[in-house]
Structure 1
Amino acid sequence: MTLIYIVLATLLGGVASVMLAAALSAPLLSLIVRHLVSLSTGVLLGTALLHVLPEAFESTAPPHALFMTLLVGLMFFFLLEKAELYRHGHHHEHDDHHHHHGFDADQAGRGGWSVLVGDSIHNFCDGVIIAASFLADPQVGLVTSLAIIAHEIPQEVGDYIVLLNAGFSRTRALVYNAISGLAAVVGGVLGYVLIDPWQHYLPYMMVVASSSFIYVAVADLIPQLQKRLSWRDTFLQLFWLVVGLLMIGTIVHSMH
């Protein structure tokens, strides 16, 4: 059953994001993604700091070793993104928020394939994280999956817009995005097969998962929110961020 949960969780993020991108127009997608970035910031921080890290520190693993793992994890994802293998683009052409990450229309032809490669590796890592979380505890796996799905939707939709700017047709962009999403399933299955014999190291893997969430939220999402906005837009940012935190807080409280 654990393997089934892992496969379903890894499939859901990619499928949900691709279906959303297929159903909505580009201008509407840009509007929705703006709010989802705030929501996923709250969900990622809430999952890492309110659920996964406390669960890891309740294990018998030494706290100093877990903190060292957290530091190494943050550095690892920093270096991975430096190599453009773990990018978190939420690019919305002409959305007036300048989330371009070097992929404007004149550069998108070169950047489309880079996005697909980076997104595939990112999805593979997410699959491994989901597998480790379910193996540690089904409840941890559920909350971790929700956090990843909440982040995957705005990321995949943003990548879809980049591919359209790169000259891909809607159908081709959706198909390639879906194929990229399947990398999460591969990561989940491999993670299940390879991690299961190493149960002793699951607290450390949970901390690595948390370092991924914290890095994405702090290094990628929050800088996107730090724009000079009207009071209304600032309120909406805070509103959706708090909604994300409350969602995770409510789930964690009900589980306990």
Structure 2
Amino acid sequence: MVNFEITVLFYGTVAGLATLSGIVLMRSKQEWAISRSQYVNSFAAGLILALVFFHLLPEAVELSDIAFPTIFLGFFSFYLLENFIVIHSGSELHFHESDPCLQHASETNGVMAFTGLSLHSLIDGVIIGVGFELGTEIGILAALAVIAHEVPEGVTSFALINETLPDKSLILSVIVAVATPIGALISLLFIHSLTDNLIGILLALAAGTFIYISASDLIPQTHGTQNLKTMVAFLLGAVLIMVISFIP
């Protein structure tokens, strides 16, 4: 039991560190981070989609009769989260310094972005815990999927928050990163009491959110830069999941 808890917290912490690495890159090597982001996004998208279609979906369907509606719910929930909190926050990023009303509106949007990104990271941590409750293999694969998109999330977090709340951007971005291990810790409070049906529902929610992240956040950011390298990165992400699946 102790080993289980340590494992969940370990992978949750690694995911948080991945977010921190994205933040550090944006602070120290912003141009380099942006120029390489399409490859990271492509790799993460391939890895996440392979996890969803080869593991999360089959497991969710096997454990729950309402898996498919729940997948849609997960997808739609993140659609709402990003459109009304995170993406809305970026719609008015540029404001005139001399207009206090516009500056206040932008600061409010920054807080909304911080809230949405923190909630996103908390959910990622819970997904890691639920994955390990189902088994070590699915737990490691789920953790890899979370870790893969935490680096670009760190870049996004710092960019959004720094644009609207520059004086607090570092501390707020770090809180977003810390939210992932906190989510993993929270999952330990309830995952052992879950029925198979509830685990299936949570896996379906995770599948829906992962599909949304790949389709809406990761893949679109590679548009306009599509080349052989991004395609190879996508395939490498998918192949990594398949290779790990065959490791005894």
If the TM-score is normalised by the length of the shorter chain, which range does it land in?
0.7 to 0.9
Partner of 1:179: 175
SS in structure 1 opposite 2:188?
helix
Distance in structure 2 (CA, Å) of the matches to 1:111 and 1:33? 24
Q: Is the 1:6–1:134 Cα contact (8 Å) retained in structure 2?
A: yes
Task: Note the C-alpha offset of 1:167.
Answer: 5.6
Amino acid at match of 1:225: T
Unpaired runs of at least 5, structure 1: 90-99
Task: Note the C-alpha offset of 1:134.
Answer: 1.0
Amino acid at match of 1:9: Y
- Following TM superposition, where does structure 1 have runs of at least 4 consecutive aligned residues deviating by more than 6 angstroms? none
Task: Note the C-alpha offset of 1:53.
Answer: 1.7
Matched, 1:25 2:23: no
Distance in structure 2 (CA, Å) of the matches to 1:131 and 1:55? 15
Q: Is the 1:132–1:191 Cα contact (8 Å) retained in structure 2?
A: yes
1:40-59 residue pairs with structure 2 within 5 A? 40-57=44-61, 59=62
Distance in structure 1 (CA, Å) of the matches to 2:20 and 2:204? 29
Task: Note the C-alpha offset of 1:112.
Answer: 3.2
Matched, 1:214 2:211: yes
1:1-256 residue pairs with structure 2 within 5 A? 1-22=3-24, 24-57=28-61, 59-62=62-65, 65-84=66-85, 87=86, 101-102=90-91, 104-106=93-95, 111-166=109-164, 168=166, 173-200=169-196, 201-227=198-224, 229=225, 233-255=226-248
Task: Note the C-alpha offset of 1:110.
Answer: 5.2
Task: Note the C-alpha offset of 1:103.
Answer: 5.8
Amino acid at match of 2:206: A
Q: Is the 2:22–2:154 Cα contact (8 Å) retained in structure 1?
A: no
Distance in structure 2 (CA, Å) of the matches to 1:142 and 1:10? 11
Partner of 2:98: none
1:104/1:142 CA distance change after superposition, 3 Å: same
Structure 1, 106-115 or 8-17: larger mean CA deviation: 106-115
SS in structure 2 opposite 1:193?
coil
Distance in structure 2 (CA, Å) of the matches to 1:88 and 1:197? 36
Distance in structure 1 (CA, Å) of the matches to 2:113 and 2:151? 15
Distance in structure 1 (CA, Å) of the matches to 2:14 and 2:79? 26
Task: Note the C-alpha offset of 1:207.
Answer: 1.4
Structure 1 length-normalised TM? 0.80
Q: CA RMSD in A?
A: 2.5
Amino acid at match of 1:116: F
- Size of the aligned set, in residue pairs, is 234
Partner of 1:94: none
1:101/1:173 CA distance change after superposition, 3 Å: closer
Distance in structure 2 (CA, Å) of the matches to 1:72 and 1:196? 24
SS in structure 2 opposite 1:83?
helix
Structure with bigger helix share is: 2
Unpaired runs of at least 5, structure 2: 96-102
Task: Note the C-alpha offset of 1:109.
Answer: 5.2
Structure 2 length-normalised TM? 0.83
Q: Is the 1:33–1:158 Cα contact (8 Å) retained in structure 2?
A: no
CA deviation map 1:2-31 (0-9, x unaligned): 221221111112223313532541111111
Distance in structure 2 (CA, Å) of the matches to 1:82 and 1:161? 17
